[in-house]
Structure 1
């Protein structure tokens, strides 16, 4: 490749000259833009509604919005009360329930008990007929024995044991509807030590800001409970381990409202110390790299100005931040400072050649500007790839990060030169004093030999073996399921390769209280925390959905229980058969005087006599307090009027694979064509879809996985295209991406050996690393193509490459102090990737450049030999840079 290809373009020269000739004007324009954008930045707000981050046309989103309109939101805020005194728990629950219901501004409904008398009186209609017959046999034997023994003339010649009424097996079998016990009105656990209160706020669980504010308000009310009338001095304490007593009741929050807030808060809380640690680390690394304070201040101030301008751009284009783009500022500062570092280092190099300050600044802008511009364009394009994502959190992040990277890159190549030019106008020697200078690296050693990368062939051979070995470790070589929930052996890691951890528990902070409480509720009540819901327009459709889900357990093996209005309607055939038995039984018992029974059995006998009165009923016979749980609210839009069927999962939804299976099974619930008594079709055969957090998160998980793969593919194509466009040579383009490709391959191998897994959060780091990793090869190769030897290129820009990489790595390394495990994993993967690309730059790429340099020398020697042996033409040959 000829030198003419690397001749500075006129536009670059004109831009550099403008910065030197009109630095004051440049700074005024930047500061004016900064002032306007600062105002826009102060107007930015964070939209905490997670539902807004997903494509509103997705069926999962539409169904969730329908549920929100029907019943006010998906899921509940759960308030669990824990104590060893049942009476105290129930009284506290009653008092709190009344207080919560009085808060019409925040609370739509509260459920902590449901009268079970109706179910108790009609339970005989739900029991299998053969079990009812068996129960009748046992009870009659018991009653006859009790009446016989209660007779004052009862005499036993030979003493016999009274008949015992053993009903435990039948009571356990039919003692609940769904998982709700029919022996107690309250939502109380079987051990009577926990009451669960289900609060439905006036908003959906995706509106994190409202949920967080309400939970804090609720904490204050609960803290003041002991001072309120009727509390009997009982103190409420938020504690997730304490077992309360008569004077103290422990409480805790969980449910979809609380876990969503906790996850968001954990990220936000983690980022606060991370930001400080990252800024301090970047500042220290920059000072160590420059060994002066002023260049650090110049670069840091320019980065801050560029970040503020990007925030102003955000206000103009998007209008607000979201839970993903709220981390944009910190990320851009970590990336953006690199452009300033490269400019300062190049200016020091130009000053070290004895140039005047203006010429040094001009040459630094031109020479370092081209690779910086290409790096900015490639990195921006890598972010822009995320714009195609269905997840608005990613698409907006990609859009803003792409423009932000380019804005900061361009700004730092205006801000820093303008400041130094003004300093030079004050005193031509001032820039040299402020930022220092770097003498040109020596071309030869003290012995006079050319400095070169030692044994490049051996380096390439060894590195090839190492890379291939690490790549082999990253490949899955077995069909066996390698466990993720325990430390694996080295051989298991090698066989399993890089694995994806679907378990969301691995992302949240260790011991998160709301998750621990959710697990405790699952054990105590044998239910999952929140169900999902299936909408039906008519009662007939609701019945078809209920029958489809309950009559095909093998088809829906991830479903634990189905709760519908039809849960409270006995099967017609069973009810008719059982009613006949009850009627016969009543006839047999009509002469029994309950008062003649022993006192301890009289209350139960009275309830039993009422149960004999049970008669079959249809869905219209379900009491209103049961029915209203499944029907739309009065304020629901007409098009959303209908009924809901609730589905509880039988699997741990924190496990991503199981969550996906559950979502798949409940996303396609077929029902047959429904006709009325006259044969008229009142509902066609159709497919129903469940709605709620699980289907929504399942769709989001699939989006993340698909977008991660697509983004890596598109970014790779973008990088190769831009590098070819820059170098106009396939070999040079491939050489420039060596640090990136080889470094990431090594990263995956190291992850496998270190038992580090990909997950739903750190997978997004991959396209970001691809975008950033291009800078290593660009700066080194462009310096090399200026005609310097590989060692000179390494010594002149290697420090800038190392410093810029270390500052970015420091920013990501700060995530390791985060309490949120997802953020930790992002930081760990990023650090490994950045360090491996840096190592490859100084080893593999350096060896490749040495091989290219040696080949170029041989070509020159051959050309010179041919010239000396050829007849003279009177023209002189000019050696060209061969690619």
Structure 2
């Protein structure tokens, strides 16, 4: 067996002692590992994914408290929208009636259904809302028409052809006041202006964040609609997002915050299934390619799987569940974790190739490869742990579990691989060689006797540094800090604008996501945004103040398209009083016409019904909020089941901007986060109009998914910056503690720092941009990228030349990097654009760090080696630099 290390210290003594234990007691060690595997498998099978996204955000955030209040009041922060599309209006409305009845009967899943609202009340009182000058103009036209009709109905009237009958044309005024807010008053149904789409708004018994329940309900609803289609005399319902139905077929589709949240989340989950298979197959093939044998591949892959199961068992024991972010934990850890097994196996082959017996080879491989692996695991794990500072629980839990998983995998792979080989060696000392093969130590000298070295390292360093600097320079926004223009950019434009950040979340969702396409269609057909945010007020006085502030000061809120409140259905007080006066005069004028012989019966038949309704309209009287019918009020009041503290009124606000654009979404959230309102306490409770009531001032906040997503966007942007800085500091500190030498510590992070900078430059040149998903890759890349420099430098500091170091551990570095690349490259097959962008960024970063390791770092090590040789031989310029001392001290 191997003797004690030449320069013993506490770390190496412990490593040798532990390695000897593995070699002496491999059966016991494997039995312990398999027992832990059984327990971890049981715990893993009990793991469940919590699909409630609201739980991923700190429950102490005001935005979370606000949206929970709205959820308690009305049952959710948005709608599940069911859109019916058909060219046959009557068939579409009949179908909407049937489906609404079916939905309302489902008390287990459906809280409320909204698809029609009687408009007779608004039609009858619309004259109180119109501008007085328009009412006067309408009166003038109608009276002129009626006077002409009365005159021409006189039996003594003789028209010599000098005048034409007065035509009644009120279309311009009708169009001007054909809706309240953006709800048409011409039709009870939520129907588009072209009469080809009806919207049914469903409020499920849960909120949008509980995507598992939504997915289950959508499956049930699809089954119910399919059963409806089989009933005699009913239309055929087809889920289609382009088809225009007819009298026999009605197309339907889903959108709204419930559906878009489900689609995006499950697009990620569904993308990961083929991605995981592709990644595992590719990693397996790459490992076989580098080992050229099946046995070491099985040892490494099986150890990786075992370590991953340990991590999932640890997850159950500590966190208790997975979430939509940590559910990808296993795939990421397998891509990273296999790195430790590859390095151990390569080093064992090298030790066996040096002629050592199996037990000594295993012990020396464990110690020599174990130190850089341990440092890499600690640094990588710490880089993940840095994510725990995030306010977003999805990231903080991911950081905790990934960090712990990295350490678990590192330990597992070294222990599993060493114990398994030791067990085979105890059975037959020749088996370890046959199983994993041997690698002859790379020759130190050439055939002529000269030391093999990297030729002209100064030139290599200069050329590679210049090339790297040019690529890195492309990441700098030379044209300023503004975002690059939209559309296809030339190479020069991309380079001058730098890497940039893409705030548009449409670039992240799958291409052609049906719920988003339908949402865009609804925006066009109904001229409204999909889901509103809500502002809570405890009473009508506050609600009136909010409505007045937002409608009378619209210039302060450019991101708000429309405001819908119970006060939307209350006519402005001054206008209503002025119009009442006009109506009274008009009523008198009509009485005068009747006294002169005018009769509704004298009008054409098609106008008689309208004329009868018109006479009712003349009796319209001003009313306040208490005069609004209950079926209108109920849309804005709390449910009876709401907590007493949440009783009150809601005002809904709709966005005028595309909320998929992150910057515009945050602007909308900012404008509605703190709304200063002046209101009059007691004004409406007393049921009287009293402008002299004392004023009160209060700030109100909008609540809804938009506020949550805006907060999350800011958290991601801030965390992306903070975690990169903290990770960089952590890496530098740990490298210094490892090498105890500033120059070596800086040299070891060359591949990492330069590789990431090159990655950003390549992204700029190719038009890739950072976004809300791939920005989280940066700290992960920093954590994984440390292994390149660590393994190469530690091998170099064993006393070998840089070329020998590259030839002995370079294959392991390349293999472990390529397996990680394979794992991330598999994301390129995902349908989700956000996952694809993560895969692309990660692949570029991993490859650039590998290239820098074999060029820039190799040249730096050769220069360091040359200096070390000069100093050790006492040649010119010998200064006794600590680099040389440390290198010779570590020589094996």
Q: TM-score, normalised by structure 2?
A: 0.95
Structure 1: runs of 5 or more not aligned: 868-876
SS in 2 for 1:853: helix
Q: 71-80 or 665-674, which moves further after superposition?
A: 665-674
Give the Cα–Cα distance (whole angstroms) in 2 for the partners of residues 154 and 429 of structure 1. 126
1:334 and 2:335 are equivalent in the alignment: yes
What is the alpha-carbon root mean square deviation over aligned residues?
A: 1.9
Query: Per-residue displacement from partner, 1:132-187 (whole Å, max 9, x unpaired)?
Result: 11111111112222333444554311153322222222122111000100000010
- How far 1:863 sits from its partner (Å)? 5.9
2:149 aligns with one of 121, 146, 151: 146
2:774 aligns with one of 762, 766, 770: 762
Are the aligned partners of 1:150 and 1:598 in contact in 2 as well (CA < 8 Å)?
A: no
1:130 aligns with one of 121, 127, 133: 133
1:202 aligns with one of 205, 208, 220: 205
Give the Cα–Cα distance (whole angstroms) in 2 for the partners of residues 766 and 147 of structure 1. 82
Partner of 1:671: 677
1:45 and 2:51 are equivalent in the alignment: no
Give the Cα–Cα distance (whole angstroms) in 1 for the partners of residues 410 and 579 of structure 2. 80
SS in 2 for 1:95: helix
Query: Per-residue displacement from partner, 1:433-488 (whole Å, max 9, x unpaired)?
Result: 00000000001122222111121111111122222222221111224855454111
SS in 2 for 1:616: coil
2:39 aligns with one of 36, 39, 48: 36
Partner of 2:628: 622
Give the Cα–Cα distance (whole angstroms) in 1 for the partners of residues 824 and 207 of structure 2. 33
Partner of 1:242: 243
Give the Cα–Cα distance (whole angstroms) in 1 for the partners of residues 747 and 9 of structure 2. 17
Are the aligned partners of 1:75 and 1:531 in contact in 2 as well (CA < 8 Å)?
A: yes
Are the aligned partners of 1:532 and 1:691 in contact in 2 as well (CA < 8 Å)?
A: yes
Matches within 5 A, 1:232-631: 232-479=233-480, 481-483=482-484, 485-590=486-591, 591=594, 592-631=598-637
Give the Cα–Cα distance (whole angstroms) in 2 for the partners of residues 255 and 82 of structure 1. 16
Change (3 A) 1:188 1:736: same
Matches within 5 A, 1:142-221: 142-151=145-154, 153-158=156-161, 160-221=163-224
Are the aligned partners of 1:147 and 1:597 in contact in 2 as well (CA < 8 Å)?
A: no
Give the Cα–Cα distance (whole angstroms) in 1 for the partners of residues 162 and 250 of structure 2. 50
SS in 2 for 1:448: coil
Give the Cα–Cα distance (whole angstroms) in 2 for the partners of residues 418 and 878 of structure 1. 32
Give the Cα–Cα distance (whole angstroms) in 1 for the partners of residues 77 and 202 of structure 2. 11
2:707 aligns with one of 695, 698, 720: 695
- How far 1:674 sits from its partner (Å)? 3.1
Give the Cα–Cα distance (whole angstroms) in 2 for the partners of residues 122 and 382 of structure 1. 65
Change (3 A) 1:484 1:654: farther
Matches within 5 A, 1:710-729: 710-729=722-741
1:704 and 2:716 are equivalent in the alignment: yes
Change (3 A) 1:658 1:404: same
Are the aligned partners of 1:150 and 1:597 in contact in 2 as well (CA < 8 Å)?
A: no
SS in 2 for 1:224: helix
1:780 and 2:792 are equivalent in the alignment: yes
SS in 2 for 1:788: coil
Give the Cα–Cα distance (whole angstroms) in 2 for the partners of residues 448 and 732 of structure 1. 29
- How far 1:882 sits from its partner (Å)? 10
Give the Cα–Cα distance (whole angstroms) in 2 for the partners of residues 6 and 48 of structure 1. 49
How many residues are paired up?
A: 871
- How far 1:227 sits from its partner (Å)? 2.5
Matches within 5 A, 1:792-811: 792-811=804-823
Give the Cα–Cα distance (whole angstroms) in 1 for the partners of residues 356 and 193 of structure 2. 85
SS in 1 for 2:874: helix
SS in 2 for 1:143: helix
Partner of 1:644: 650
1:115 and 2:127 are equivalent in the alignment: no
Are the aligned partners of 1:237 and 1:249 in contact in 2 as well (CA < 8 Å)?
A: yes
- How far 1:554 sits from its partner (Å)? 1.3
- How far 1:861 sits from its partner (Å)? 2.5
Give the Cα–Cα distance (whole angstroms) in 1 for the partners of residues 528 and 205 of structure 2. 24
Q: TM-score, normalised by structure 1?
A: 0.96
Q: 608-617 or 64-73, which moves further after superposition?
A: 608-617
Partner of 1:79: 82
Are the aligned partners of 1:234 and 1:249 in contact in 2 as well (CA < 8 Å)?
A: yes
Partner of 2:855: 843
Partner of 2:882: none
Change (3 A) 1:636 1:675: closer
Give the Cα–Cα distance (whole angstroms) in 1 for the partners of residues 706 and 444 of structure 2. 64
1:633 and 2:634 are equivalent in the alignment: no
Are the aligned partners of 1:212 and 1:261 in contact in 2 as well (CA < 8 Å)?
A: yes
Give the Cα–Cα distance (whole angstroms) in 2 for the partners of residues 732 and 201 of structure 1. 61
Give the Cα–Cα distance (whole angstroms) in 1 for the partners of residues 795 and 877 of structure 2. 28
Query: Per-residue displacement from partner, 1:674-724 (whole Å, max 9, x unpaired)?
Result: 344699988842211100111110000000000010000000000000000
Partner of 2:687: none
Give the Cα–Cα distance (whole angstroms) in 2 for the partners of residues 690 and 3 of structure 1. 69
